[in-house]
Amino acid sequence: MVNYSRYFLKTKSTQLNIDTMGKKFTTVDLFAGAGGLTEGFKMAGFETIAANEIVPTYSETYKLNNPNVKIFTEDIRNITVEQFKKECKINGKKVDVLIGGPPCQGFSMAGMRDPKDPRNSLFMDFIRFVDGLKPTFFVMENVPGILTMKTAKGEKVIDLICKEYERIGYKFKYKKLHAADYGVPQKRKRVIFIGTNTNKDINYPKPTHDKEAYKTIEGKQIKKWVGAETILLPKNKVPKNFFLSEKMINGFIKRREQNKKKGRGFGWQIIDPKTPCYTISARYWKDGSDALVKYSDKEIRMLTPKEAAAIQTFPQNFKFFGSKRDVYTQIGNAVPVLLAKAIAEEIKKSLD
Ligand SMILES: C[S@@+](CC[C@H](N)C(=O)[O-])C[C@H]1O[C@@H](n2cnc3c(N)ncnc32)[C@H](O)[C@@H]1O
C-alpha cells in the first residue's frame, strides 16, 4: 500500500499589473487551447493581448482565466492576419512574442503520423501569422515527432519549416526540452522553436531540476525532479468513480498479456509516486491508462481532473470549462505552465 502525501503544488497565478521596468511585453497566443502557454507567460510578467482557438469550449476556459483578452474562436485557416487584428482590436499594437502550439496529432509518435493529415500543415498558418504580425520573437511548441516527420512528397517537415522561416526573414533555433527539468512533476518532452527577426539572442532556459540532485549549473544547485506524490490526493479524498472496476482492471491485464506476446509495451502505466508522472495525453479521459495510481491489485484509479491539472502545473485557482472529457483533453493538450514560464523568463531577458 502506498502512502501518498497530501499537498498540492504552490504555483499561484501571479498577475503582474505593472512590469518592474514600467514596460509590459505583449504576446499573442495561437491554437491557445485552455491557455497553458499564456499562463506561463503571464507568470513571467507578459500581457497577452489576443488569442485564437477553434473549439468554443476551450475558448470558454481561456476566457474564464483571461477575461480581458479577446479570443477569436475560429478556424485559423479561414482568417487573415488583418481580420484577426481587427476582430481582436490590436491594430497598431506591437506584438513582442507570438506563441502557439499548432496541433501535433499528425506529428505525434503515439499517433498516426499521417503525412497527408491536413492538420500537419497548420504550422504553416502559424508561420503566416509570424509573417503578418512581425513579432520580435516567436515560440512554437510541438511534439518531438516533428523532427523526423516527412511530408507526402518525402521532404522532412523540419527542412520545410527552416525554408519557410528563412523566406520570411526569421532566424530560429529548436531544442527538445524535458518538462521535469523545470520542476514539473511529469515526464513530458516537447520541441520548442524560438525565432526572431532581430539580432537579439535566442537562449533556452537552463534546467533547474535533474533526475539526480548532485549537479550545479552556473553555481546554482540543481534540485531533484519533483515526484508525482507532491500532487496526489490522499486516497480517502478521491471520489469512488475514479477507481477502476474489476472488469476494467481485468481488461487491462488481458491487454498487457496480449501485448507482451506480440512483443509490444504494456497496456497501462502505474505511477511511481517518487518520480515525475508519465505524460498525460489528450486521450487520458478514455481510461487513464497513461498514468494510473495503484494502492493494491484491486484498488487502481485514474487521476482526478484537479490532479491532472496539477501534474501540468496549472495553478490551483485555474478554472476549466466543459465536460469531464473536455477538461482532461484541454489538460492533456497543454504546455506545462512551469515549462512555459521558464521559456518566457529567458525570452524576457533577451527583450529587456
Ligand atoms: C496542442 S493544443 C494547444 C495547447 C495550448 N498551447 C496550451 O498550452 O494549453 C492545440 C490547439 O489547437 C486547436 N486547433 C486545432 N485546429 C485548429 C484550427 N484549425 N484553428 C485554430 N485552432 C485549432 C485545438 O483545438 C487545440 O486546442
Averaged over 241-265, what is the pLDDT?
A: 88
Ligand 1 atom 12, closest CA: 31
Residue whose entry in the numeric block shows the C-alpha cell 481580420: 83
Which pLDDT value is given to residue 10? 37
Q: Of all atoms in ligand 1, which is nearest to the CA of residue 141?
A: 6
Indicate if 104 belongs to the active site: yes
Q: Inform me whether the pLDDT recorded for 152 exceeds 80.
A: no
Q: Of all atoms in ligand 1, which is nearest to the CA of residue 35?
A: 9
Which pLDDT value is given to residue 7? 30
Averaged over 67-90, what is the pLDDT?
A: 97
Q: Inform me whether the pLDDT recorded for 141 exceeds 70.
A: yes
Ligand 1 atom 13, closest CA: 31
Q: Of all atoms in ligand 1, which is nearest to the CA of residue 76?
A: 20
Q: Inform me whether the pLDDT recorded for 8 exceeds 60.
A: no
Which pLDDT value is given to residue 199? 96
**Mean pLDDT over all residues of the chain?**
89
- Of 333, 335, 338, the residue with max ligand 1 atoms within 8 A of its CB, to mutate for a pocket test, comes to 333
DSSP strand pairing (216-217 vs 189-196): unpaired
Which pLDDT value is given to residue 235? 97
Lowest mean pLDDT among 34-48, 113-127, 194-208, 271-285: 113-127
Lowest mean pLDDT among 7-11, 268-272, 281-285: 7-11
Which residues line the pocket of ligand 1, CB cutoff 6 A?
A: 31-37, 52-55, 58, 75-77, 101, 103-104, 122, 333-335
pLDDT 10s digits, 294-336:
999 999 999 999 999 999 999 999 999 999 999 999 999 999 9
Which pLDDT value is given to residue 20? 46
Q: What proportion of the chain, given as a percentage, has pLDDT over 90?
A: 74
Cα 53 to middle of ligand 1, angstroms? 6
Ligand 1 atom 17, closest CA: 54
Domains of the chain: 26-223+330-351 (3.40.50.150), 228-321 (no CATH)
Which pLDDT value is given to residue 21? 55
Ligand 1 atom 11, closest CA: 31
**DSSP reduced 3-state for 25:** coil
Name the more confident of 21 and 93: 93
CB atoms within 10 A of CB 182: 23
Which pLDDT value is given to residue 17? 38
- Of 53, 76, 283, 338, the residue with max ligand 1 atoms within 8 A of its CB, to mutate for a pocket test, comes to 53
Query: How far apart, in whole angstroms, are the C-alpha atoms of residue 349 and residue 221?
Result: 21
Q: Inform me whether the pLDDT recorded for 240 exceeds 70.
A: yes
Q: How far is CA 328 from CA 13, 218, 235, 267, in A?
A: 20, 38, 20, 19
- Of 27, 30, 31, 123, the residue with max ligand 1 atoms within 8 A of its CB, to mutate for a pocket test, comes to 31
Query: How far apart, in whole angstroms, are the C-alpha atoms of residue 69 and residue 56?
Result: 15
Cα 240 to middle of ligand 1, angstroms? 32
Show the DSSP H helices in 90-192 as ranges: 122-133, 157-167
Indicate which residue of 88, 104, 162, 277 is catalytic. 104
